[in-house]
Amino acid sequence: MGMMHGLEVRSPFLDHQLAEFVYNLPVEFKMNKNENKIILKDILSEIMPREFVHRRKQGFGAPVKEWLRTPEMKRLVEKEFGNEAYVYKFFDRKAVEKIISRFYGNASPNNSIDESVYYKIWVLLCLELWLKTHLN
């Protein structure tokens, strides 16, 4: 998914020699009871502000709601969850249709919808496309 959209999403620490080196470092270089990633934070602190280095972890949120609101995605969802959808072998069809209609039945993009609704549609769509690819 990342490469398809020109995003770099691979982990930069997968070099086996680096992994072996870090594995063999003493534990106190890597973590203590209050902090982990100590050596990485020490190195990063040399070039970045302390507030950045020691900030709380934050995720990367994709604009799923906005993607699903596009006419193209609505057509794709309608097509993929037609009569022959693979997900209906695993999930109750009426429950899936209810989730989709809750999202697309709410015409205004500004109306608030429980975030879980569009993430459920996204996960179901990804699952459907995966099943379609691997079970055909």
- Could you read off the pLDDT of 3-43 as tens digits, one per residue? 666 776 767 677 889 889 989 999 998 999 988 889 989 99
Give tens-digit pLDDT for 62-81. Answer: 899 899 999 999 999 999 99
Query: Which pTM does this prediction carry?
Result: 0.58
The total of structural domains in the chain comes to 2
DSSP class of 133: H
Long-range CB contact pairs, 27-30, < 8 A, 24+: none
Same domain flag for 44 and 104: no
Give the pLDDT confidence score for residue 124 in this predicted structure.
96
Residues 86 and 132 sit within 8 Å (Cβ to Cβ): yes
Residue 122 in domain: yes
Residue 128 in domain: yes
Same domain flag for 39 and 73: no
* Phi and psi angles of residue 9, each rounded to the nearest 5 degrees, phi first: -120, 5
- Cα 48–Cα 53–Cα 58 angle in degrees, nearest 5: 125
Residue 2 in domain: no
Q: For residue 108, what are the domain limits?
A: 64-135
Residues 121 and 103 sit within 8 Å (Cβ to Cβ): yes
